[in-house]
Chain A
Amino acid sequence: KQEVTQIPAALSVPEGENLVLNCSFTDSAIYNLQWFRQDPGKGLTSLLLIQSSQREQTSGRLNASLDKSSGRSTLYIAASQPGDSATYLCAVEETSGSRLTFGEGTQLTVNP
């Protein structure tokens, strides 16, 4: 059974800092990996999707990498802003159109 772990569980940083969120998964036979953001009481916003054949994806200040063989992904946030404060969730999909298995999330607080 796939298990997804995210470290750290919580992170508090001053504004402007670059930071890295980590995600690991136990079964490397994944179809893709997706990073989401969730604000309190809200739905999930998709940030980046990395297909299993890709190594990284970038969107604005966000960069996500994938090392399938080692079962790891990182989300890099450059020049963090208070508006980045949210819970960040990593999820893997094992086959197309199937379940996403989520990590427990990293709660990020960016202090002004």
Chain B
Amino acid sequence: DTEVTQTPKHLVMGMTNKKSLKCEQHMGHRAMYWYKQKAKKPPELMFVYSYEKLSINESVPSRFSPECPNSSLLNLHLHALQPEDSALYLCASSQPGQSYEQYFGPGTRLTVT
């Protein structure tokens, strides 16, 4: 099974809402990633978790809060977002220490109104 799942597929939220994006993989990968992708642009890395510890934070605003509760799950908590945060949010996983692909989920399309 080489699948990364993400829920929800679509999310519309107001600027005062709190919501969470969820990502799950059962490939035994110990590195998980959040990327943000704007229309017609490549994905940009936000966070990397390696062995459930945050290893990279690409200076992401604090209104985005990642969480890795276990080796299979990755959450992205959203609070007080801005309309410019509307984008496709992609989760990926890989196995650190070996040259394996990063596998991507289908993404969550987020719209902030």
**Residue contact A102 to B42, C-beta cutoff 8 Å:** yes
Q: Which residues of B contact A18 (CB under 8 A)?
A: none
**Residue contact B90 to A43, C-beta cutoff 8 Å:** yes
- Answer whether residue B1 sits at the interface, using C-beta atoms and an 8 A cutoff: no
Q: Which residue of A lies closest to B32 (CB)?
A: A97
| A44-B104 contact, Cβ under 8 Å, with A99-B45, A99-B48, A104-B41 | yes
**Residue contact B99 to A96, C-beta cutoff 8 Å:** yes
**Residue contact A43 to B94, C-beta cutoff 8 Å:** no
Q: Which residues of B contact A102 (CB under 8 A)?
A: 42-43
Q: Which residue of B lies closest to A104 (CB)?
A: B42
**Residue contact A46 to B42, C-beta cutoff 8 Å:** no
In residues 62-112 of chain A, which contact B (Cβ within 8 Å)?
89, 91, 93, 96-100, 102-105
- Answer whether residue B55 sits at the interface, using C-beta atoms and an 8 A cutoff: yes
Of the listed residues B31, B98, B99, B109, the one surrounded by the most CB atoms of chain A closer than 10 A to its CB is B99
Closest chain A CB from B43 CB (angstroms):
6
Q: Which residues of B contact A103 (CB under 8 A)?
A: 42
| Other A-B pairs beyond A42-B106, A51-B99, 18, CB < 8 Å | A31-B99, A41-B109, A43-B4, A43-B106, A44-B90, A46-B101, A46-B102, A49-B99, A52-B99, A96-B96, A96-B97, A97-B50, A97-B94, A97-B97, A99-B48, A99-B56, A102-B42, A104-B42
* Interface, chain B (partner A; CB < 8 A): 4, 6, 31, 41-43, 45, 48, 50, 55-56, 58, 88, 90, 92, 94, 96-107, 109
23 contacts between A and B (CB under 8 A): A32-B99, A36-B104, A42-B107, A43-B6, A43-B90, A43-B105, A43-B106, A44-B104, A46-B102, A49-B99, A49-B101, A89-B42, A89-B43, A97-B48, A97-B55, A97-B96, A98-B55, A98-B56, A99-B45, A99-B56, A99-B58, A104-B42, A105-B42
